[in-house]
Each structure stands twice: as C-alpha cells, then as structure tokens.
Amino acid sequence: MSQAEKDGGMDPRGPGRLRLFQKGLEARAREDQLRSLKHYRPEIQAPYVLRDGVRLLNFSSNDYLGLATDPEVREGAASFARMYGAGATASRLVSGGLEIHEALEAELATFTRRGAALLFNSGYQANTSVLPALVDRSGLILCDRRSHHSILQGAVLSRAKLLRFEHNDPDHLEALLTGHGQGHRGVRLIVTESIFSMDGDRAPLAEISEVAERHGALLLVDDAHAIGVWGPRGEGLAAGHERVDIVLGTFGKAFGASGAFVASAPTVQSHLVNFCGGFIYSTAPPPGMVGAVRVALGKVRSGELRQDLFIERVAEAHERLRRGGVDTSPSDTQIVPIALGAEQSALDCAAFLEDRGILAVAIRPPTVPPGTSRLRVSLCRHHTDEHLAALVDTLSEFRSRAPRRGEVSAGAEKTP
C-alpha cells in the first residue's frame, strides 16, 4: 500500500500495479518528451482556433480545404445522423451495413478510377489491418524508411519479412527486391506514401510503379495527404498511376471529417471483406461521417474549391518563405517542415509564434528522428497573404532574436 493509501487518500498516480507505466511516463518526462492533451475549439471560420480562450491563427491543421467547418459539410453529417442514427449499431457483416456506405464506396471507386472501394473508421485502422490481410508470414513487405507509424505497425502485425527502402529511392527498392525478393512464394507488397506526412515531399510514384511491374509486386499507396487536394479533380496523386493496386485515402484531412477508404480491384475488395480484421470486427462507420464525406466529396469533385489555385498559392508560399530565409526543402506541398534540429529550438520557436497568435506545433522525437525536430507548418486554402506574411515575419523575428537557439534557415540538421 502506498503512503497516500495508508494516509487514507488516493495515490494520484493510481494503484501500484500501474507502476511500470508510471516509470515509463517519468522517463518520458525526464527526456522532456511527455505528451499531454490540450483542447482547441474551432472558430466558425477557418483557419482560426481558440485555445484557453485565446484566438490563434492555425498552421497546424490537416483541414487543408477548410471543410471541417463548412456549413454544408456539417449539415451533411447532421442530416445523415438524423436519418440513419448516431451509430451504425454493428459491423458491416452483421447488421451495420447501410445503403449509404455502399453508395459512398461506389462514388469513391469512380473518383479514384478503381473498381471498388471499402470504408474504414480511420486511416490508422486501415493500414494496421489491410497490410496483414494482404500479406502473411510467407510474404514480403517493402516500405519506405519514413513510412507513417500505422504502415510500420501493419507490416509488423502481418509477420511478413519487412524490408525498408531508403526514402524515395526506387533504385534501393529494386535492389532489395532483386536481392531478397526471390524465394518468397507469398505476396510481395510495396508500400509508400504519396506525400510524406512530416516532410511534405512526394514519392516518385511513376518509378516505384515501374519497379513493382518489373518484379510482379503489389503496390499500395497511402494518399492520406494528397486526396482532395492534388490531382486534376482532387482525386489524389495515386489515382493517375494505373499500376498502383491499392489506394488508401483518409477523410480526416482534406475532407474535414474522419474515417478512411481503400480503393482497389473488386477482387482485393472482396478479399478484404473476407479476411481483413479491421473491417470485419469493427462497427461500421457512423452515418454522420458518411454524410459529411459525401458532401465534402461532392465539393472536391465539382472543382468549386479551386484546389488548382490553392496549389499555385502553395508554390508561392514556398517561394515567400525561402525569400524570408526559411528553407522549406524537401517539400513542395502544403506540408512545410521548418527544420530546427534541436528539440529545444523547435519548442522555443513554437512558443515564440504562439505568443504572437500563431499556432505551429513543434514535432519532436519520437515522431521524428533525434536532431530533426521541426515545426510542421500546414498551409490551408483559407490562409490569406496576410496570414502568410505574419508567419514569415514572425519566423524571421525569431531568427533574429535567437540565432543560436534556433536556426530557421538552410543548414539546420534535417535528415537522420
């Protein structure tokens, strides 16, 4: 019994059987890497949020098109919740399947130019369950060294042999397939993201597709950060590459909602319906989510959001940041890593911005490798020239005041 319990009070750390967790948390705190929850309230108008009553200009949101607060998207969620209920009540294979799930899947299949699509409750759930459904211990998974955590988890759960190719390096991928790929009778699956979530750079999908073709391997592309924004009709970066067998898209980013889908040939879809635990053993996506995504997808496809102009503005923003002394490489997308190297520099810079009304959260190990801490700035359709000017000016003010604590320009250590 702890002293606190003996004293008649509750130990705030919980009972002794939680002590190993407590130790782990204490270690994180000693390394200054303890994460804690904060809450934000979206302002009705993107891109502002309220934190503890303070209005902040948000450069840390994945709501790239500002659809999370769009009145029609919200009404889409509300109307489907009114019509079909707050929840789907069961998994799709039990009694949770609704016609609205199938209608959305049909639309997503057309949108991504694939034969079929399947909804999931999140991108994380999709990656961690689709990879093990496609490849078992007799197979081989080759994924980019900087893959999202959910992709790596999916690969580990599959128990397949896992090989990681150098970031965006099709030659290394080819060498791995040539060297280790033989002798595997099972499925060989290549996995990459189209836009990398922390660096904002793009994968060479044409070259990776060629490697996949030469080796007869399956290719899965996680299009989480491209879908809705990139591609002629916002269909993402993978849709245009026929050799991509499986496209994974998420709704929690440009669609302003939550959930995910996997688009593929109908055979793969049927395989997932029968063998993918994350689909089979999970309550079907809630009607509200389907309603929001349906309206968001309509807007994305219609062109009314003018993603083309947004992408032009993203290119201008990179130019402007560079002129302001900020190295934005390797990104050429709406995700802009601002390299600071040391963790403390990233924290100092984020705090400096926040004091001036700008939210740009520091990303530190273990999310990124040690020595590569950064601000992950995400540009959204609602950011104006004035918003961008505020960001550039505040970053250069930080740089001029704290040259030794944080180097915001080229030269900061960025890669592992």
Ligand X SMILES: Cc1ncc(COP(=O)(O)O)c(C=O)c1O
Tokens linked to 77: 């969620």
Selection from 52, 25, 27 nearest residue 41 by Cα = 52
Candidates 148, 294, 381, 399; binder of ligand X (CB under 6 A) is 148
Query: E strand or H helix at 132, and its extent?
Result: helix 123-134
Residue positions annotated with a catalytic role: 62, 148, 193, 197, 222, 225, 253
Q: Which is nearer to ligand X, 151 or 326 (CB)?
A: 151
Candidates 150, 168, 328, 378; binder of ligand X (CB under 6 A) is 150
Q: Which is nearer to ligand X, 122 or 269 (CB)?
A: 122
Largest Cα separation within the chain, whole Å, is 70
Candidates 47, 66, 76, 123; binder of ligand X (CB under 6 A) is 123
State in angstroms the smallest separation of the CB of 411 from ligand X: 27
Q: Is 378 in the site for ligand X (CB under 6 A)?
A: no
Q: How far separated are the first and last CA of the chain, in Å rounded?
A: 45
- Please tell me the count of residues contacting ligand X according to CB under 6 A: 13
Selection from 34, 354, 339 nearest residue 201 by Cα = 339
Q: Which is nearer to ligand X, 224 or 296 (CB)?
A: 224
- Cβ-proximal residue to ligand X, closest one: 123
CB-side neighbour CA atoms (13 Å) of 190: 32
State in angstroms the smallest separation of the CB of 120 from ligand X: 8
- Range 182-213 burial, b when 16+ CB lie within 10 A, else e: eeeeebbbbbbbbbbbbbbbbbebeebbebbe
- Indicate the DSSP class of residue 139: S
Answer yes or no: are the C-beta atoms of 256 and 299 closer than 8 Å.
Answer: no
Q: Is 80 in the site for ligand X (CB under 6 A)?
A: no
State in angstroms the smallest separation of the CB of 243 from ligand X: 20
Q: Which is nearer to ligand X, 100 or 254 (CB)?
A: 254
State in angstroms the smallest separation of the CB of 378 from ligand X: 11
State in angstroms the smallest separation of the CB of 357 from ligand X: 26
Q: What's the length of the chain? A: 416
Q: Is 255 in the site for ligand X (CB under 6 A)?
A: no
Q: How far is CA 1 from CA 9, 12, 19, 313, in A?
A: 11, 13, 12, 61
- Other CB atoms closer than 10 Å to residue 416's CB: what's the count? 11
Tokens linked to 49: 């949020």
Q: Which is nearer to ligand X, 174 or 193 (CB)?
A: 193
Q: Is 231 in the site for ligand X (CB under 6 A)?
A: no
Applying CB under 6 A, the residues found at the interface with ligand X are 122-124, 127, 148, 150, 193, 197, 222, 224, 250, 252, 260
